[in-house]
Amino acid sequence: MARALDPVIVDWLKLFNCSSCEELYSKLEQIHAEHKPVEGEHVPFSIHDIKHFNTSDRKGTTFNCMKIYWSAIKAAELIKDLRENPPKESFENPVVHQCSSDIEYSAMSTLIADVDLPGSKYNFVGHGYYSDLFFHMFFGNYSDFNEHIKKLSEQDLKKTLKKREGYPQVSPLFAPIIGRRMIHIERMSWLTEQNKRDIRMMYNGRNENKQVKILEKLLKLGADPNAHDIIGNTPLCYAALFAYDVAEKVVSTLLRYGANPNHSTQYNSILFIFCNSLASRPDQWSIIDLLLSNNAKPKDYEDAMCIRFLMEEKSSLEYAVKLREACPKKKNECERTVCAVSSVKKCGACDFVVYCTPACQKLDWKFHKPTCKKKREEKSKNSA
């Protein structure tokens, strides 16, 4: 009996418009020959890897390369179209492109980052249709930005703060956040040394790298911290991906001016996006505390369980426990994150959670122990 394909692979088949794994693999080989999006003479995984893919392997080679191959063909189509039909300016939130699955959403997020701005994989010097002000903000040139802003009338300033540019239809707040990555251009493995020299020659002559200062000024002037792009992502979403060393400052500033920590992307919560981005970066975990202190919540139960699993696998015990407490299990469902069995057998120590079997309780004890102790102390204090 043939093994059923993982739902993730089913979604990839739809995105690549293929009816079988064999057809998909053949198309990937064609894309590889034409675009060489990854190193090597051939696709770096086999048909067997596709047929036996498991959803839990989303960080593996097969999944990551699928996004790269999809972006390669879509980027070629999109760049050609953008050159012939530059995107028009707008002054309101764009209609959100509704992705058919979280796979398409993830691929679209990659595509946006890969195509339309300086430092992009397929367009490393950027398109010429962005305004001078956008580039001032993008490269953190506060002096030029401030001079530009000073010359605007009150009416023109209001209009400028709402202006949308480029294929992603980003508002001014996006520019300094995304542009922060240019300081760390050496991390961009997709750029050749010549690409980097060309970018530095064009844009690095007098960069002030004051993106955070520009961000705060924009917010003070009235820029909307919850404006979204064409796939529904807000500046807070982009802070998780591009703010790097100033991410905590950016997040703190956005929250202070009213950014919604519970804005939902099409498939994930802000909390999940940051946990996913920072799970293996302990120097940035204070951002998770910042979000939790601002009442950030999972989008739904599935999102909550993904957060719990991710933090148990990737982060410290302290943060795994914090996120478990922020993302509780359903009533009468086994407390172990990977178990969904119903039970009424409460933990004998705290009487707060349930386990389906002693085996599950033993496997989960490391994560439950700190909460168990806290609940016992609360119980003792209340009964005193």
Alpha helices, DSSP H only, in the chain? 7-15, 21-35, 47-51, 61-84, 102-115, 132-138, 142-150, 154-162, 174-179, 193-203, 211-221, 235-242, 247-256, 270-278, 286-293, 301-314, 317-326, 358-383
pLDDT band for 317, please (50, 70, 90 cuts): very high
186 or 374, which is more confident: 374
> Ramachandran region of residue 188, left (φ > 0), alpha (ψ -120 to 50) or beta?
beta
Give tens-digit pLDDT for 91-139: 999 999 999 998 999 899 888 888 888 888 888 888 888 999 999 999 9
Angle between helices 358-383 and 317-326 (to 10 degrees): 70
Per-residue pLDDT, averaged over 66-75, amounts to 91
Q: Which residues, including other chains, have CB under 8 Å from residue 117's CB and lie 6 or more apart?
A: 123, 126, 130, 138, 166, 178, 179
Least confident of 83-87, 310-314, 367-371, 378-382: 378-382
pLDDT at 168: 93
- Please report the pLDDT score of residue 252 as a whole number: 97
Of all residues in the chain, the percent with pLDDT exceeding 70 is 98
pLDDT at 198: 83
- Report the predicted TM-score, pTM, of the whole model to 2 decimal places: 0.90
Mean pLDDT, rounded, for 2-29: 91
204 has a pLDDT exceeding 70:
no
pLDDT digits (tens, 9 = 90+) for 34-48: 988 888 899 999 999
**Residue predicted with more confidence, 123 or 326:** 326
Q: How confident is the model at residue 205 (pLDDT cuts 50, 70, 90)?
A: low
**Could you give the C-alpha distances from 50 to 19, 36, 100, 203, in angstroms and in order?**
13, 20, 20, 42
Average pLDDT in the 315-329 region? 95
pLDDT tens, residue by residue, 226-273? 999 999 999 999 998 887 889 999 999 999 999 999 998 898 999 999
What confidence score (pLDDT) does residue 2 get?
Answer: 56
Q: Is pLDDT at 1 greater than 60 in this prediction?
A: no
pLDDT tens, position by position, 167-192: 999 999 999 999 998 888 888 888 88
